[in-house]
Amino acid sequence: MRAANAVVIVAVILAVSLALGGSTSAHAREPSPSKELAAEMLKAMHLLDQSFGLESFPKPHCLKWGYGHIITADEVKACAKQALDGQALPGLGTKYVIAAIMADIGPQTILAIVLDPPGWAVLSCDPNRPCPPRKPGPDKFGMRVTDQINRACTKPTTIWFPEKKGCP
């Protein structure tokens, strides 16, 4: 009788484990960007956020924001070139690209779109905050990733560094 109860208990534990997303065998996780790549993307985005004056980064900024001045795509590209030149960013253009979504008065936000593995992005955020790579999904940040990738890929005014890639 005790052996039968032990078998039932093990079966229940196994069923609950599987229901909660566990696995009984070696479960292959979906590939995600490496920690090194995530750090590099965040470094590149912080350089651009600082240069553009986005996300509460302190001065100095390359872009000159002011009443009545509309920042042009050429100004954004020049500031990006100045910010990124000479930086060690070996994955830029091969493992990820950066998109600057433009508003009518200048850059609104930036995001890094991961090329390998595809489907991941890093959203711009304030300095000293964690900004991990995120995948589109039904949660709050997953929906933000979906929205920003779609906006970046469909708006003709988006500025890409170094070129447009990674769009669905």
CB 56 within 8 A of CB 128: no
Tell me whether residue 102 is in a domain. yes
Is residue 14 domain-resident? no
> Residue 1 falls within a domain, yes or no?
no
| Domain span including residue 122 | 31-161
pLDDT for residue 58: 86
Q: Is 26 part of any domain? A: no
pLDDT in tens, 73-91: 999 999 999 999 999 999 9
Domain-located, residue 20? no
* Number of domains into which the chain is organized: 1
Q: Tens-digit pLDDT profile for the chain (168 aa)?
A: 454 544 444 444 444 443 444 443 334 577 899 999 999 999 999 999 999 999 988 888 999 888 888 899 999 999 999 999 999 999 999 999 999 999 999 999 999 999 988 999 999 988 888 899 999 999 999 999 999 999 999 999 999 999 999 998
Within a domain: 121: yes
Q: Select from 102, 155, 144 the least CA-distant residue to 121.
A: 144
